[in-house]
Each structure stands twice: as structure tokens, then as C-alpha cells.
A and B are shown apart, each in its own frame.
Chain A
Amino acid sequence: MQRIKPGRAEHLITVNGEQRRVSLRPADTLLYTLRDELGLTGAKPGCENGDCGACTVLVDDVPMKSCLLLTMELVDESRPRQIETVEALDRAAVQEQFLRHWAFQCGYCTSGFLMLAEGLCRQRPDADASEMLDWMRSNICRCTSYAELIHAVADTLQRSAREGAEPAHP
């Protein structure tokens, strides 16, 4: 096993399709790197403990809680990973459905829910209601009644299923 040296060092990571050079401490979480190093503040700290999901991003198309990942694990030197944040979504179906269904109020959990839903559409475009809820339980929204979020995600899934399981890629 490779020993990680303490202190800061520069590394490359791939975020939203761009390779970025970042200065890292071994203990930096991906959430910290995205927000404080790269200014991608869409992912939010809500608990920094994996409980709330406000920091959810995609890593190789899989929704991950960026507060629980060390950036060091994702640097291009070890095994390049595609990191995607909400800032990469551009008029994606899921965004349209969140708008249509009033799936947010304060908006703080929204980026996390969007990335969770986007990941679901890419991974399991044929997910049934029960599987969809299983996924959605990983995040918390304190404002809405969840019905709005569930309708938004269900409609996005239906649409991506209709479009031949082709997810709404950015």
C-alpha cells in the first residue's frame, strides 16, 4: 500500500469533463475540494456525515456523498474518475421536472436531490416506484412534502424510459 505523505500536494482531478489541478491535504473531502478549491458550490454541506445527501455528486455516473469521499481517492494519478456536479447539468430533464413540480422551497437540498435523481436515471432508468424510493431515502428535504420530489423524479424516469433508456445527458 502506497503511503500518503502529510501536507499539501498538487494533484489532477476530472470534474465536469475538465481536468483540474488542485492543492490537496490527504484529509480533504471531495466536498471541500469542490467548494473551496474549485468554487463549485452547488454541492452543499448539510451534515458532513453522510446523513443528509445535500452534497451528492456523481462519480462515474454513481451518486456519491462528497462529504464521505477523500479527494485523494479520486485523483487522476491513481484511477481517473469522472466527477460531475450539479453545475454540469444543463437543461436536463430532471431540472425541468423539479421546476414543473415545485420540488424545492429553500433550495439547499436541491443540488443533492438533482444529482441523486440524475444518477438514478442513468443507472436504473427502468426503476419501479419502490426502487426509486429506496434511492431517494438517502437524502433529506426539510421544506417540501416529498410528494413534489417524488413526482419530479418519477416523471423524469418515465421520460428517460420512453426515450429508450437514454438518460438526459448534459
Chain B
Amino acid sequence: MPTAQASQSAKQETEPTAPAAANPGAGAFGRRMQAVGQSVARKEAPNKVTGRARYRGDVTPVGTLTACIVPSGHAHAQLVRVDVDSARRMPGVVAILTGEDTDLLCGEVLEDRPPLARGTVRYHGEPVALVIAHGEAEARAAARRVAIQYAALPLVATVEAAVASDAPLIHPALGTYTRAQPPVVPQAHTNIADHAKVRRGNPTEGWAASDVVVAGHYSVPQVDHAAMETRSARVEILHDGRVIVQSTTQAPFEVQKLLAKSFQLQQGQVIVDVPLVGGAFGGKAAVQLEVLAYLASRAVGGRPVQVVNSREEDMATSPVGIGLVADVKLGATRDGQLQVADLTFLLDTGAYTDSTPRVARAICSECTGPYRVEHVRCDAYTVYTNHTYATAFRGFGHFPLTFAIERTMDRLAQALGMDPVALRRKNLIGPGDQTPTRMVLTRSTLGDPQACLDRAATLLGGPAAEATGSHTVRARGLALFWKTSSSPPNAISGAVVTFNQDGSVNLSTGTVEVGAGTKTTSAQIVAEQLGIDVEQVHIHTHINTKVDPEHWKTVASMSTFMAGRAVMEAAEDAKAQLKSVAAIALKCAPGDLSVAQGRVFLTADPNIYVTFSDVAHGYSYPGGDAVGGQIIGRGSYIMRHLTLLDEATGEGHPGPSFTVGAQGVEIDLDRRTWRYRVVRAVTVVDAGRVINPAGARAMLQGGMCMGIGLATREGVLYDRDGQRLNSQLRSYKVMRAGEQPDAYGVEFVETPQIDAPFGARALGEHGLLAMPAAVAAAVSHAIGQPVDHLPITPESLWQLSRTAAAQ
């Protein structure tokens, strides 16, 4: 359904506009695109289908030692004694480290985590010792000989138990920890590592104005990223002082900074090299194994040492995705106008905080969902438990947030006797409205949630639930999402464009190829700007912090925007230089020239031209003398006008723009067995501008599939002693072939974000954001009871039906 805005952008496309250089977003719309908007195959695709694509573990020089983690067998205990003597005597063992060998504390936001447990273990699987041996077999055999004596401490098994007044303290020294990246507000002598909040308007007024009030209590377990490549790191300390790191990280520049800071090194001494990464989903933004590998290498005279997670270690020792318990209360007038929202989130960060306080602020920023709410109180607590520590997971807190908000919107619709789509449409946030953190929205920063909602509702169609047999029912559910970047206000990116003698182009950026296709997107942008074929753009697949310009982190779906802006600037810079040299060759002013198809030509007469190869390395006169030199295009980008959230009110500007979308599912459910299947799933997202249609569709569909997994089966499990029960892929269930919906429907609305490359909005995480909420809505419709806890398994539905029958 075209909206006013959508038709306006359509009109823009027919009007001539200024060259893209003048305004990287809006200016480009008028031109016919050659590379942007095309389904260009991934640059690395041929290597990925021939086994020749290289990942971290595929190249390990002979002589690399292996370090194995000795994990804690207890979830909360004092370490009475860690006896490494017999392990030390095992064949092939070179050294063994324990927590006594370093007093370092790590933490992206709050420095609370020893790389090897010291005195206390706080989760089952926590590294207690590190055994360094010539080979993996020797290291693992010796690791089993490390004898650890524990004295059990009382277990803190849930976030609710953790915030009870008499809860055992997991970090008695919480008040003394260094705050590495404020804002973070630890509550000393509690298990609350951070308290983020939003105070907006006057809730008392809101409740007074509300005719209907609904409340819900929701829970989402910790989940595992389960990237197919487990995390690993290799470190070698050279005698000239250089530290060579190879890692599976999404954040090479963060690894560089953190190692430099932790070990008092010059940043330039630390060189982080990252090849292709085999899936990340936020789990590889946390820095953990790099520090262990550094400690190990340092302990053996700088020899190269690698730490490679087994699947079990990747799931139980390295960080998982944050779990969450939410209480949401909404007030509305009789006709369905939202007045007030009251939200409390307890984030299960496990034993250590990692990035959870930042996730808590991201949740605060968008805590109402994409709705207009005048009065808001939101408290998001980062809570320690004796669970595996947690970090960012695809969506940065937004899938559990979306679940909690959208379930409550459905409750409100039911209480009001209103159609859930109509209730949402009535309350959609729009240009001119304020977000919970008082960012005033524009069409460019927000996009068009209504177009997404209306189209998704149409695509989904049908009634909420209909009987398809004596005990079978088909049901539908729909949910909305929104998300901004919640990146640091000074996040940066950079790009360098150079030329080969044949006129083809080399592009260097600091983004990691984790599977999202970011390198190809950047190549498309350069190709578009220089008017050349994408085949003529050569990319760096490996990132090396020494030679590639810094990109904050490959997270938050921000590569297209941030690296894209830098790439556009680098291309424009190269273009200007090409013109200035060509102006000499063609005896004219640079302003008389245009660039396209590998040529710099007189705009008035394209038959008068030089090629890139004529001028990119200096123009040679017929006599052999030359002028111009090598052309190197540089581009950089820094976030602008972003601010940190105010500690008291949450006021602040958390990201450059939003991506909004609507998702729906259709399910078939059997009331006898409580089994159900998602048969159809739809997503309509405001993409701003789709740079690579096939890539964008694949990325969104993949997210939808992951979201269905989160809704239907995924969740980290602990036994009553806090021991991990499912740290393998046969017990931690992810989606498999045949379990996906029969049909995926993905459609795009294109409301340009005018400061983004070609108008493109962030898309990488968004496919999964509202899927669990949509599945829960459909299942709730099917069984006639609200379903408020993830994952939604047949067993959980059976239990729910028994509870309902007993009441």
C-alpha cells in the first residue's frame, strides 16, 4: 500500500538530482544504478563452494602450541586448591597457568571478569586453568589431570533469586570494579551490576487517563549463538615487541585496544588478523580467548599458542546470549490510545557483565516498541547469576524486548476487544513523535512502520484462528519491531581506495566478513560511485588492524551505513583526484570532467577521455615525463549527534536511524499432542534502499529461521546445581532442514534514510526480531490462552493446558 512518503520517494526517483557526492543519501536516487540494487554474488562465493575459503582454524603454522581450558565443574564455589603437578608431568606439556598467574580483570563495560578464575568460580564451565602443550591431544589429556578442590557456595539460579534481599553475593567486590566504559551503575553489595532507566512524562497522569490497564510477566532464557565455527584465537609474541593475533573476532580493533590496555603495550604493537568468520551473531564481539592465548604465549616465551573452543566449550565456557525476565504494564483509553508504559527488565548476564549494560540501554531506548507513549517508566537491571556469562546476541536485546512488548499489546487488544492490527496502527509512532529517550523522529530516521504493518497484515491474511479438523487449528500472529544501533556516539569507520595499473580498484575497509556480505556491499558502493563493474573492485577479505582502517566493530548491522559512508567518501576522494590529473591530460578544468566506466571524460564530449589506468598512477606525457602520482582515495565516517543516555532520565540519542518492520506467522497446531509447525512466515521491512536484493532477502530469511528456532526450541538449560545440561548441538536444538516454514514471504518498503549510502537502512539482525513474538501470538490464538514464556514447546503448552484446566 503506497503511503504519502512512499509515493514521495517514488517521485524523487523520476526527478533529476544533484550528483551523489553532494548528498550521499538523497542525491543518488535520481541516477540509474548499475551496481547498487543488483543481486551481486558474494565476492568470496567461489571459494566458499570449493572448500578454498580460509577461516581461522584452516591455517595453523607448524610449531603452534595448543592451550586447553580446564573448566570449572561447579557453578558457584571457592577454589580451595588447584593442583597442576601431575598434569605438568604429562607428556608434551609445556606450561600450565591458573588464576594465580594473573590479577587481570576484563570487561567491556565493567572490569569484573578474571580470564582464569581466582579464588572463586562463578559458573559451570568457567576457565580455571590453561594447559599449554605441543598438541591438542596432549593438552586435553593433561587438562584432565588438573585436580581442583572446591568448597561449594550457595547457588544463585535465577534473576529473581539474585535480586532477593537475602541473595548470596556473586561479586562481593562489585563496588570496587573499574568502570571501563560508562555509563554503568553498579549497586554495591547486591547482584545488580547495572541499573539503566527511562523516566519520561508523568506516569501518574498516564494511569489516571487510562480506562484499561493490562500487565504481563514474560521470560526468555539465555540462548546460544551456535555459530558453526567455534571461537578460537592464536597469539604469538615476537621479540621485536609485536603481538600477532589471529582470531575469529567480529571486533578486531576492540581486541587490539583491549590487549594493549591490559598488558601495557603500544596499540601499534598489537596486530590483529581476522580471516573469514564462520558465523558470529554477536557472540564473537566478546573478547575472551584472545586474552587467554596472549597469557599462554607470554608464559612460553612468546611462542605461538592457539586456543580453540570445542563445541562444548563454545557453549558453556564462552559467553551465551542474554536471558531476560520482563514485567510490562500498559494503560490505554477505552478507544485504544496508549497512555503509559511501566516496564521492568531483569537481564540474566550470568557470572559477568561483558556488554550487558549496553544491551540494557538499547532495551531502554526502544522500550515501548514502535508506539507513541507519553508516559514511560522503564528499569533495566543487569543481574548476576551463576549462569554462563552472557554477551550480545543478534538484535542486541531486541528480540526479548519485542517479545515482551508485543505480547502485552496483544493482551491490550484483547482487553479492549480491538483487532490487534488496528490497535497497533492506532498507536504507531511517527515523524514528530519522541522515542522513550526523547529523540524526535523524522521520516528519514524512522521509516514507515505503517506501510510495513499494513502490507504484512495483508500478506498474512485470514482470521486469527480457525479449526481445520476436530483437533487441529490453523492460527496466525503478527508483531512489529524497531531497532536503532545503540552504538557508542563516537563509533568510527574508514575506507581506502587504491588502483591497480590496469585501472581496477582495491578496496580496504575494517569490517569483518562474518557471512553478512559486507565486503560485497562495499564493493557495490565503490563500483556505483566510480561507474565501474563490481568485478573491477578487489576487496580485502582478511582484516589486519595494521593496514586496514579502523571500523568500530562488525556489529549492530552498522557496516552498510558506517563503512558504506566511508567507502562513498573514499570513492569521491579518488574521483576528485582522477579528475585533477585527467584535467592536465585533457587540457581542461577538473569541473569539466565526469567519471564512468573506467574513464574520465569531458562531460560535454565523452569521446575525449583518459582511462583510469592512464591517470591512476600518474599521467605520462608522450616524452616520458610524468605528473600526478599514485591516487589513494580516503574516506572516513564518525557517528554524529549521538549521545549517551542520561543516567537519571535515559534522555539521549542512541543511533542514527531506525529500522522498522512487521512479521507474521501462520501455524498448524494439534490440540491432542500440542505439537505445532510454522507453515508460513512473512516479513515486511523498511529497508530504506535495498543495495543487494538477493543478499538482503537471504539475510532476512535466515534471521526469520533463527527467530523461529528461538521461539520454538532454543534455550540454555541448567540443572538444580547450576550445571549446563545442553552444551552440544544434539541437546541444544537449532533448526534443521525441513523444520523451516513451507513458504517465506519477504517484502521491502523503501523509505530512504537520507544520510545513509543510497538511503539503505540496517538489515542484518532484523529478520529474527519479532519472530518469537509472532509465533507466541499465533500459538496464543490457537489455544485461546496467552503464551508468555520462551521457548514454546509442546511440553510447555501441555503444562499450560493443565494449569488452565486446574483453575
Verify if A45 is at the interface (C-beta below 8 Å from B).
yes
- Would A48 and B311 be within 8 Å (CB), given that A133-B737, A146-B735, A147-B740 are in contact? yes
Chain A residues near B52 (CB-CB < 8 A): 42, 87
Query: Which bracket fits the contact residues of A?
Result: 35 or more
Verify if B130 is at the interface (C-beta below 8 Å from A).
no
A67-112 interface (Cβ within 8 A of B)? 85-87, 89, 95, 98-99, 102, 104-111
Chain A residues near B44 (CB-CB < 8 A): 107
Assess whether B49 is in contact with A142, with CB atoms less than 8 Å apart. no
Assess whether B706 is in contact with A102, with CB atoms less than 8 Å apart. no
Chain A residues near B228 (CB-CB < 8 A): 44, 46, 52, 54, 106, 108-109, 140-143
Assess whether A137 is in contact with B738, with CB atoms less than 8 Å apart. yes
Verify if A24 is at the interface (C-beta below 8 Å from B).
no
Interface centre among A104, A105, A143, by most B CB within 10 Å? A143
Assess whether A49 is in contact with B729, with CB atoms less than 8 Å apart. yes
Verify if A15 is at the interface (C-beta below 8 Å from B).
no
Determine the main DSSP class of B at the interface with A. loop
Verify if B281 is at the interface (C-beta below 8 Å from A).
yes
- Would A142 and B51 be within 8 Å (CB), given that A108-B279, A133-B738, A147-B740 are in contact? no
Assess whether A108 is in contact with B737, with CB atoms less than 8 Å apart. no
Complex CA–CA separation, A35 to B56 (angstroms): 13
A111 to B, closest residue via Cβ: B51
Verify if A145 is at the interface (C-beta below 8 Å from B).
yes
Assess whether B738 is in contact with A136, with CB atoms less than 8 Å apart. yes
Q: How many residues of B contact A (CB 8 A)?
A: 56
Per-residue contact bits, chain A 20-59, to B (CB 8 Å; 1 contact, 0 not)? 0000010100000001100011111111110110100000
- Would A104 and B701 be within 8 Å (CB), given that A27-B137, A142-B228, A143-B515 are in contact? no
- Would A150 and B230 be within 8 Å (CB), given that A86-B50, A104-B49, A106-B279 are in contact? no
Chain B residues near A52 (CB-CB < 8 A): 228, 311, 729
Complex partner residue of A142 from B276, B281, B697, CB under 8 angstroms:
B281
Assess whether B51 is in contact with A86, with CB atoms less than 8 Å apart. yes
Q: How far is the CB of B91 from chain A (nearest CB, A)?
A: 12
A135 to B, closest residue via Cβ: B737
Complex partner residue of A44 from B47, B278, B730, CB under 8 angstroms:
B278
Complex CA–CA separation, A147 to B697 (angstroms): 12
Verify if B145 is at the interface (C-beta below 8 Å from A).
no
Complex partner residue of A146 from B277, B310, B737, CB under 8 angstroms:
B737
B20-75 interface (Cβ within 8 A of A)? 41, 44-55, 57-60
Interface centre among A47, A48, A142, A146, by most B CB within 10 Å? A142
- Would A105 and B698 be within 8 Å (CB), given that A44-B55, A51-B729, A133-B737 are in contact? yes
Assess whether A25 is in contact with B729, with CB atoms less than 8 Å apart. no
Q: How far is the CB of B38 from chain A (nearest CB, A)?
A: 14
Chain B residues near A49 (CB-CB < 8 A): 311, 728-730
Chain A residues near B278 (CB-CB < 8 A): 44, 106-108
Interface centre among B45, B60, B514, by most A CB within 10 Å? B45
Complex partner residue of B736 from A41, A85, A140, CB under 8 angstroms:
A140
Chain A residues near B735 (CB-CB < 8 A): 146
Show 7 A/B contacts (Cβ-Cβ < 8 Å), sorted by A: A42-B50, A44-B228, A51-B730, A106-B277, A106-B280, A106-B515, A142-B279
Q: A148-B698, A150-B738 given. 18 additional CB < 8 A pairs?
A: A25-B137, A36-B60, A41-B54, A41-B58, A42-B50, A85-B51, A99-B49, A102-B695, A104-B49, A106-B515, A107-B276, A136-B737, A137-B738, A141-B228, A142-B227, A145-B698, A146-B736, A148-B701
Q: List residues of B whose CB falls within 8 A of some A CB.
A: 41, 44-55, 57-60, 137, 226-230, 276-281, 310-311, 514-517, 694-695, 697-699, 701-702, 704-706, 728-730, 734-740, 744
